[in-house]
Amino acid sequence: MDARKICVLILTLMILIAFSPLVLSVSEDSVTIYFDPDGDIDIDVSEVEHNFTAVLANEWSNTTGSTFTLYNNGTVSMNTQAKTNASTDEGDMSLNASGVAPVQDEYAIYIDGLNVSNYIGTAYSENLGTDMFPAGSNGFDVCLLIGDNLSANHSYQTTTIYFQGTQV
């Protein structure tokens, strides 16, 4: 074989080797980590119902002395929001969420005694209690105002106040 053929053969082998995949020695291992997130919010309210009995139009009816207690039985700090129905369960009266001068067949509910006292509406939007630590509690009262005029002598009306805790 002549030297030219040997050079062409060597050059061809070098090109083939250059474009061939290289085999590298790679090794991989792993560690699996298990964990259980333990933070939870568990909100409770004492006194699950209250009867204001006879409520006069255009006069506040209030509980006093922290009639209700809000508890954080969870494991993380929480903020608290509240909401209520848009109307009474009987459908005779409508919520006036602003609380400003409820009119005929309207009512307003005001929560007093938590970090922030405020009228409540139909959506969770206002933080009434902030940074309540786990195992913490806070007393509060509910204030009810019905409008200055009623269209009829309505039977007993009921509405529900819902409380929600969200992580701080």
The structural domain count of the chain equals 1
**pTM, whole model, 2 decimals?**
0.76
Range of the domain at 132: 43-155+162-167
Residue 21 counted as domain residue: no
Neighbours of 14 (CB within 10 A): 10
The 3-state DSSP class for residue 12 equals helix
Q: Which of 2-6, 12-16, 80-84, 101-105 has the lowest mean pLDDT?
A: 12-16
Residue 120 counted as domain residue: yes
Question: What CA–CA distance (Å, rounded) separates 79 from 163?
Answer: 10
Residue 136 counted as domain residue: yes
Residue 85 counted as domain residue: yes
Residue 81 counted as domain residue: yes
Q: CA-CA distances (angstroms) from residue 127 to 82, 85, 165?
A: 8, 18, 9
Read off the pLDDT of residues 121-156 as tens digits, 9 standing for 90 and up: 999 987 898 889 999 999 999 999 999 888 988 899
Residue 29 counted as domain residue: no
Question: What CA–CA distance (Å, rounded) separates 48 from 164?
Answer: 15
Read off the pLDDT of residues 67-106 as tens digits, 9 standing for 90 and up: 999 999 999 999 999 999 999 999 999 999 988 889 999 9
Residue 12 counted as domain residue: no
Residue 23 counted as domain residue: no
Terminal CA-CA length for the chain: 85
